[in-house]
Structure formats: C-alpha cells, structure tokens
A and B are shown apart, each in its own frame.
Chain A
C-alpha cells in the first residue's frame, strides 16, 4: 500500500465515521447504504487508477467494435467518402452523450490522420459546442489543425424525429462509408441504423439505452453493449489512469456479483428459519 492510498483510505474512513457519528443531523437518514456504496466504489476505482499510474500491467480483452473503428475510417478513406458520427439526441447532462463525445475525439483523430471528411450532425447546441471542442483538439493532436473547420460539427434540430429526418437525409444524399452512433438514443435508433444499412455503410453503434441495444445489434456491424460503450474512450486512449478505472469497474462488478449471491443465500437461510438475521434490512431494502 502506498502513502496516497493510505491518505485516501483515511479520508474515506473519516467521512464514514462522521456519517455514523452525526447520523440524523448532518446526513439524510436512509441513505446510509448508498453512501457506503459510493465510498466503496470510488475507493476501489481510485485504487486501480493509482495502481495503473504506477506502472502496473492491466489486461483489457479485445473489443471487436473498438478495433473496427480504424478499419471503418480506413474504408471511408479508400472509398473517398465521408465518415458520419451521430452523438445521440440527448444533452450533455447524460453520461451517454459525454461518453459519445469522448469516442468522437478518437474518431476525429483518425479522420485527421487519414484526411477523411468527418460530418457530425448534433441535436443539441451544447453538444455541438462540446463536439467542436473535442474535434478541434483531436485535429490539433493529430498535427492537422488545417483540416479542421467548425461546420464539420453542425446543428440540425432539437426535435427527435426532425433530427432523425435530417440525419437520414444526409445519409441518403452523401452516402457516408462509415456511420458511428455513439450516445443516447431512443426510437430514432432503428430509423438511423436501418438507413445506414441500406446505403451499405459500415456501422458501429454504442449506447447506454438498454432498450435500443437490440435494434443496433440487428442493424449495425458492431455494437458496444453496456459497459463496453463507457469503457471505449479509456480503451482507445490507452492512458493508464483511464484503463485503471476500467479494471476498478470490473472489480466492483465482481463485488456486486458476490453481494448478490450472498444476499440470496443469507435471505434464503433466513426464510428457512436457519438464520435469524435480515440482510435486506441492513441494506435498506426492506
């Protein structure tokens, strides 16, 4: 254990101590399990970020959808066509959109290197500004600021179906060779993905909207499912601190699995009358 970790553990323990010591006055009663959960999850993720920073090797399994990003842009370059990136229809208050913009910055870096046209139609003005900033940085990082222009990221409409119609129109008219759908999507997901499929574009989707994943899986060549989508930017950046957070996330998932099995076993034993201890009360579920 290094000193930094000891300090963090100390702060976390101090916060938990204050929480219990002043229960009911400083803190909201009933939020104890959530609070402890936040502390444990944060500490675990931080521990692995710190470990990765100090040079610890972390293995990430290959994700086909992410490996295909460069291939898709390369295909567009060979065909002399553009790349379309759709960052979803939600605003920057959704983590999905933030994750989408992170992926956009990687895609933009590749398009800058390959000198391929990039088209980013947005549904929200704040997303437009964020996406512009991300693209500008990426073109600068790739050493091609001359290729960047503001209008590669443009606004279409705030309305869901007007936006879908606008993006579909771009697809039909410009026939991009690669389409990326990375962000928060609702009913328009299939409209976009099917249109992209009809023009023969290679399509890579990623979303945190569980109900839209089946549509993307059906219509796209690659889909980033669940946590893959949120891990994408860390995976692509190859930065140790970001990769460390992915490892931490997986450890938390493992802890959640153990917790689920434990709760199931303990509650079963209680219901059978073997154990006189209600785990659900402790977790604030009963």
Chain B
C-alpha cells in the first residue's frame, strides 16, 4: 500500500518542489538536473511506456478479429500495418546499395544512362561531374529495397568499372535513408494519410465558420462583421476597397445599432441617408481619393490591423493570464499533494 499510495506522492512532491526551487538555485548540478536530466528521465520512462501502448493496441485489434466483433475487418488492416512497420523497422533493412571502384572515364556517360533507368536524374551534367570527381570509388545514388534487384542492376553495370560491390546500410540508419523499405512506407503511405487528415481541416473550418457566422444574436453578428473585415483586410484586394464603400458600410452599421432606439422608420431612413451624403460630401470636399488625405479608419487593412492588435490581443491575453494562473494553481495543488491524478 505504501508503494502504491504514499510513494508516488512523496516522489511527486519532492521532485516538484526541487524543480520549482531549482530554477532559482545557482548550482550547475541543480541546473543540469532541472534543465536536462529531469526531462530526459521523463523521455526514458515514456519510451518504455510505448511498449505498453503498442501491446494494448495490438491486443485490442487481435481480440476484435478473433471474436469477429463489429467492424472487425478494419482491425486486420491495423494489425497488418503494425506488423509491417515492425518488420520494416526491426527485421528487414531493405537498404541495399552499389559501389563502383575504378570507373573508366569514358564510361561515365554510359553509367549516368544506366542510373537514369532506375532512378530519376534531375541534372545529368551535375551527376557526370560528380562521378568524374570520384572515379576511384562511387556509390550509386539509388537504394534498392531487395538484394535481388540490386544484384540484377550490378550485373547490368558490371562492365562500367573494375569492381562492383554490393552493400547494405547499417541497422538504425536504414529507417532514415531515402529509398529504404521503411522510408518508402513512411513517405508513400504514412505521410499521404497524415496529409489527408490535415487537409480535411479545410472543410471542417468551412462548416464551423458557417455555423459561427450564422446571424442569431448580437455577438454572432459582431463576429461575422469582424471576420469579414479581417478576411478582406488581410488580402491584397482589401487595399482596393474605396473609402466611400467603407464609410457607407459604417453608416449602415451605426444605423443598425441605433435602429432599436428609433421607432420611427422614416426618421431612421433619413439619418442613414443623411449620414451617407455627409460622409460622401466630406470625402469629395477633402479629397479622400488621395491616400494621404484619407482617414486611416476608412481603410480596411487598417481596420483589420486594429481589430487584430487591440480587441483580439486584449481578449486573448486575458484568456492567457487566466490559463497561466490556472496552471500555477493546478501545479501548486499537485506539488502539495492536495490533488493526485496519479
């Protein structure tokens, strides 16, 4: 019971206090622990814990297939993917390469031609220069997943150089070398799938924006107006919106705000038309067509910048201060052992 209950609390409180006050103690060992060792310990524990997670995932998927639970077919794909990644990472390097020694200078162009049959060559001239610079020993810039394909290619180019040798990239390095089985899996399967999920975000942003911008109340209207101003103000076309359009829209906005206070619609109409005439007349009189004369408030990029720099920044900072204080209070509760999520 002590190991399960008190011990974790003692460790959490002790390490928590030590790291908190360690930030202020002028000692290289303490600083080393706070800045490096503590985080490395966490990384080590997390690395071991990954086995727990992987085994749990595998167990659940296997059980699903064995018991033929609902949608068990998807689990076959998950198990296959897991097994394939383990195979490519731990059991099969799939990173064979060919090295040529003592290449005859007259065979360089021929070699480039051969290479272009198995690997896309962007700049043949550059490749020729590269080979000419290392005629004594040159590694072909192509990784062969299977040894048999590497052997077949080495037979093809056997007359090019005095000696053709086959090699395999070392364990560990094979997962990062472009062209290996693992990198093929990563770049041809995993990356496109991740990108697909990320790309879905564009559609979800559209549907979420639609819902947020639906005019239901004053706040939603404010959000819609601010959103439109920000969207237009942040693109080049926003600079082309003329002052009279912005001033007219502003008059309409003010009209919408004061509308509930003026029951007489004719009077309201008169105020709005008067406002438009007044602003337009002022603009013509003061020559607002010239950028230097135009008030900054009538430029959409300026308005969007103001919205971003002041109301948005103020709101987000208020939330950030709240979050920071929340983090401090939660950390304090954990360090003192008042709250124990472990």
Q: Are A124's CB and B325's CB within 8 A?
A: no
When C-beta atoms are compared, the residue in chain B nearest to A165 turns out to be: B197
Task: Tell me whether A154 and B71 are in contact (CB under 8 A).
Answer: no
Contacts of B194 in A (CB 8 A): 159-162
| Interface pair B42/A93, CB less than 8 Å apart | yes
Determine the residue in chain A with the shortest Cβ distance to B195. Answer: A161
**What is the CB-to-nearest-CB distance from B169 to chain A, in angstroms, rounded to a whole number?**
25
- From known contacts A194-B208, A208-B327, A227-B323, infer whether A98 and B334 are also in contact, taking CB-CB under 8 Å: yes
- In Å, the complex CA distance between A256 and B320 comes to 13
Asked if A12 CB lies within 8 Å of chain B CBs, one says no
User: Would you call B46 and A210 a contact (CB within 8 A)?
Assistant: no
For A208, list chain B residues within 8 Å (CB): 323, 326-327
- Per-residue CB contact flags for chain B residues 298-342 toward chain A (1 = under 8 Å, else 0) read 000000000000000000101111110111111111101011011
Chief secondary structure at chain A's binding surface:
helix
Inter-subunit contact B327/A230 (CB<8 Å): yes
User: How long is the Cα–Cα vector from A242 to B332 in the complex, in angstroms?
Assistant: 11
Across the interface, which residues of B come within 8 angstroms of A109, CB to CB?
Answer: none
A130 to B339, CA, bound (A): 14
Which of B52-60, B111-119, B160-168 forms part of the interface with chain A?
B52-60
Partner of B333, one of A126, A158, A242: A242
Give the segment of B17-25, B99-107, B228-236, B253-261 that binds chain A: B17-25
Distance (whole angstroms) from the CB of A238 to the closest CB of chain B = 13
The residue from A129, A215, A230 contacting B208, defined by CB atoms under 8 A apart: A215
Nearest B residue to A37, CB-CB: B328
Closest to A194 in B: B204
Which among A26, A42, A158, A226 is the interface contact of B332 at CB below 8 angstroms? A42
Query: With A and B bound together, what is the CA distance between A203 and B198 in angstroms?
Result: 22
Please indicate the chain B residues that have their CB under 8 angstroms from the CB of A124 in the complex.
Answer: 46, 49, 53
> What 0/1 readout, one digit per residue, does chain B (56-70) give for beta carbons within 8 Å of chain A?
110010000000001
Query: Does B200 reach chain A (CB closer than 8 Å)?
Result: yes
Q: What is the interface of chain B mostly: helix, strand, loop, or mixed? A: helix
B25 touches A26 (CB 8 A): yes
Are B46 and A91 in touch, CB under 8 angstroms? yes
Most A C-beta atoms less than 10 A away, residue of B49, B74, B207: B49
CB-CB nearest in chain A for B210: A218
A57-65, A77-85, A99-107 - interface stretch: A99-107
Mark B174-194 against chain A: 1 for CB-CB distance below 8 A, else 0.
000000000000000000011
A190 touches B329 (CB 8 A): no
The distance from the CB of A133 to the nearest CB of chain B, in whole angstroms, is 7
With A26-B25, A159-B194 in contact, do A249 and B329 touch (Cβ < 8 Å)? yes
Q: A98-B334, A187-B198, A218-B211 are in contact. Are A28 and B56 (CB under 8 A)?
A: no
- Residues B323 and A230 in contact, CB atoms below 8 Å apart: yes
Complex CA gap A151/B69 in Å reads 15
Q: How far is the CB of B67 from chain A (nearest CB, A)?
A: 12
- Name the one of B39, B321, B334 contacting A253, with C-beta atoms under 8 angstroms: B321
Across the interface, A27 reaches (CB within 8 A) one of B26, B49, B320, namely B26
CB distance from A54 to the nearest CB of B (A): 15
Q: A139: which B residues are within 8 A, CB to CB?
A: none
Q: With A27-B26, A154-B57, A161-B197 given, is the CB distance from A241 to B338 under 8 Å?
A: yes
Cβ contact of A210, chosen from B50, B60, B316, cutoff 8 A:
B316
B237 within 8 A of A: no
Contacts of B334 in A (CB 8 A): 98
Confirm or deny: A95 has a beta carbon within 8 angstroms of a beta carbon on chain B: yes
CA A233 – CA B341 in complex, angstroms?
10
Instruction: Tell me if B74 and A169 are in contact (CB < 8 A).
Output: yes
Q: Which residue of A lies closest to B23 (CB)?
A: A31
Q: In the assembled complex, which residues on chain B have CB atoms less than 8 Å from the CB atom of A226?
A: 318-320, 322-323, 326
The residue in B56, B207, B330 that gathers the most chain A C-beta atoms within 10 A of its C-beta is B330
Interface residues of A in 143-184 (CB under 8 A from B): 151, 154-162, 164-165, 169, 173
User: Which residues of chain B are within 8 angstroms of A73 by Cβ–Cβ distance?
Assistant: none
B329 contacts A126, CB within 8 Å?
no
Whether, in the assembled complex, A204 has its beta carbon less than 8 Å from a beta carbon of chain B, the answer is no
Contacts of A34 in B (CB 8 A): 23-24
Residues of B within 8 A of A225 (CB): 319, 322
Q: How far is the CA of A177 from the CA of B183 in the complex (A)?
A: 40
Q: Please encode chain A, from 14 to 54, with 1 for each CB lying within 8 Å of some chain B CB and 0 for all others.
A: 00000100001111110100110010011001100100000
Bound Cα distance A122, B319 (Å):
27
Q: Which of B23, B46, B70 contacts A173 (CB 8 A)?
A: B70
A140 at the interface (CB under 8 A from B): no
Residues on B with C-beta less than 8 A from A45 are 328-329, 332
- Bound CA span A128–B318, Å: 33
- Shortest CB–CB separation between residue A97 and chain B, in angstroms? 9
Please tell me if A202 contacts chain B, counting CB pairs below 8 Å.
no
Q: List 24 A-B contacts (CB under 8 A).
A: A34-B23, A45-B332, A46-B332, A95-B331, A98-B330, A98-B334, A124-B46, A124-B49, A124-B53, A125-B56, A126-B45, A128-B53, A130-B341, A155-B54, A161-B197, A188-B197, A191-B200, A191-B201, A210-B320, A218-B209, A229-B326, A245-B338, A248-B329, A256-B325
Q: Which 6 pairs across A and B sit closest by C-beta, in order of nearness?
A: A230-B326, A125-B53, A226-B322, A155-B53, A125-B49, A161-B197
A interface, CB within 8 angstroms of B: 19, 24-29, 31, 34-35, 38, 41-42, 45-46, 49, 91, 93, 95, 98-99, 101-102, 105, 122, 124-126, 128-130, 133-134, 151, 154-162, 164-165, 169, 173, 187-188, 190-191, 193-194, 208, 210, 213, 215, 217-219, 225-227, 229-231, 233-234, 241-242, 245-246, 248-249, 252-253, 256
Q: A45-B328, A156-B57 are in contact. List 13 more A-B contacts (CB 8 A).
A: A28-B24, A41-B328, A122-B53, A125-B54, A190-B204, A191-B200, A193-B208, A208-B326, A218-B209, A225-B319, A226-B326, A230-B330, A252-B329
